[in-house]
């Protein structure tokens, strides 16, 4: 074998080589971190939008529920009035008649 055919032994990395590799690694990590940060911001915005929609729906249902409670209360009071007033008038009728007769 001749000297030109022999492979050169691997060269030891220099401090500059190590520094270059570290800078490339840091740049890759920074880039990946930025990607993750952007994705997190997107997810956060989507979450906030969904939360806003849920808040709106909850407020709408709460308002509707309050109105239904008022309507039910009104119906119950009206039904009770219709059920009780005739009996009350029948009971108070003779009393009112006696008071009017006694006053004459």
pLDDT of 11 = 84
Please state, in angstroms and rounded to a whole number, the distance separating the CA atoms of residues 47 and 43. Answer: 6
pTM for the complete prediction?
Answer: 0.46
CB count within 10 Å of CB 18 equals 10
74 token code pair: 């009104």
79 token code pair: 């039904």
In Å, what is the CA distance from 72 to each residue of 6, 47, 75, 86?
99, 37, 5, 22
Kindly give the confidence (pLDDT) of every residue in the chain, 104 residues in length, as a single tens digit, with 9 standing for 90 and above: 455 557 777 888 889 999 999 999 999 999 999 999 999 999 999 999 999 999 988 899 889 999 999 999 999 999 988 888 888 888 888 888 888 888 76
pLDDT of 43 = 96
């Amino acid at each position: 074998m001749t000297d030109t055919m022999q492979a050169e032994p691997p060269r030891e990395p220099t401090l500059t080589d190590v520094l270059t590799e570290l800078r490339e690694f840091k740049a890759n990590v920074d880039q990946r971190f930025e990607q993750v940060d952007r994705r997190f911001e997107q997810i956060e915005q989507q979450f906030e939008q969904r939360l806003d929609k849920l808040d709106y729906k909850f407020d709408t249902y709460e308002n509707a529920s309050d109105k239904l409670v008022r309507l039910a209360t009104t119906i119950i009071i009206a039904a009770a009035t219709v059920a009780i007033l005739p009996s009350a008038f029948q009971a108070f009728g003779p009393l009112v008649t006696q008071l009017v007769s006694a006053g004459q």
